[in-house]
Amino acid sequence: MSNAAQAYARTAQTSSSPREIEAQALLKAARQLQEIQSNWNGPDKAMHNALLFNRRLWSIFMSAADSNDNQQSLEVRQNITNIGVFVMKQTVDMQMNPDPSKLKSLIDINCNLAAGLSGRA
């Protein structure tokens, strides 16, 4: 099991709402990315680990959105997939051309979605 999936599973055990679990996972990923942006050391192991965690998390979301068992509307599922595709493209761009300013969109997406999932948007 991936680190993202393990973190997701651990969070799931301590929270009652799936939406809150997803929000907490997104906030964890955002905090890791924010830490890299705030303490920029160039493309180091910490950057790659933070991007990997975020990418794995978004892979889970995209897979769930694509599942036939998903109860969300087709529009919501398509929006999740579209955001996920953007996140993946941004991640690849960040890995190929590291620049801390590129992390802002990933951080903002995660924080905004977490706020929406938690009912704070």
Q: Work out the pLDDT band at 17, boundaries 50, 70, 90.
A: confident
- For CA atoms 9, 13, 14, 17, the dihedral sign is positive
The pLDDT assigned to 11 comes to: 55
Write the CATH number for 107.
1.20.120
Mean pLDDT for 9-29 is 79
75-87 pLDDT, tens digit per residue, is 999 999 999 999 9
Q: Is 42 left (phi over 0), alpha (psi -120 to 50) or beta?
A: left
Domain extent, residue 18, equals 3-117
Q: Work out the pLDDT band at 9, boundaries 50, 70, 90.
A: low
User: What is d(CA 28, CA 85) in angstroms, rounded to the nearest whole number?
Assistant: 20
Q: Work out the pLDDT band at 115, boundaries 50, 70, 90.
A: very high
Question: Are the C-beta atoms of 13 and 97 separated by less than 8 Å?
Answer: no
Full-model pTM = 0.84
28-53 pLDDT, tens digit per residue, is 999 999 999 999 999 999 999 999 99
Number of domains in the chain: 1
Q: Work out the pLDDT band at 118, boundaries 50, 70, 90.
A: confident
User: What is d(CA 48, CA 63) in angstroms, rounded to the nearest whole number?
Assistant: 22
Tokens matching residue 35:
């830490």
